[in-house]
């Protein structure tokens, strides 16, 4: 998705330089939407990774507590 956002950004810059403002605006809008979707997906992925890391740490700590109680 990021690749397509960059692709439409380049199209927007080239068409803006050539004077085709309607195409430039359209490509810019598509590029911004794709980048926003990519960014939201990236933030969600970071959030899930953080939550999974906390879950694994909590599981490891509970196993250590269980081993300490058994000894």
The per-residue DSSP string of 11-67 comes to HHHHHHHHT-HHHHHHHHHHHHHHHHHHHHHHHHHHHHHHHHHHHHHHHHHHHHHHH
| Residue-number span of the structural domain to which 21 is assigned | 2-70
How many domains in the chain? 1
Query: CB–CB of 37/8 below 8 Å?
Result: no
pTM of structure? 0.67
**pLDDT by position in tens, the chain (length 71):** 788 888 988 989 899 989 888 988 899 999 999 999 999 999 999 988 888 877 677 666 666 566 566 65
Task: Please list, in sequence order, all residues whose beta carbon lies within 8 angstroms of the beta carbon of residue 28, skipping any fewer than 6 positions away.
Answer: 8, 9, 12
């Amino acid at each position: 998705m990021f690749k397509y956002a960059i692709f439409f950004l380049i199209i927007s810059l080239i068409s803006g330089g050539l004077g085709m403002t309607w195409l430039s605006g359209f490509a810019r809008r598509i590029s911004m939407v794709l980048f926003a979707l990519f960014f939201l997906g990236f933030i969600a992925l970071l959030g899930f990774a953080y939550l999974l890391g906390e879950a694994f740490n909590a599981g490891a700590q509970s196993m250590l507590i269980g081993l300490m109680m058994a000894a």
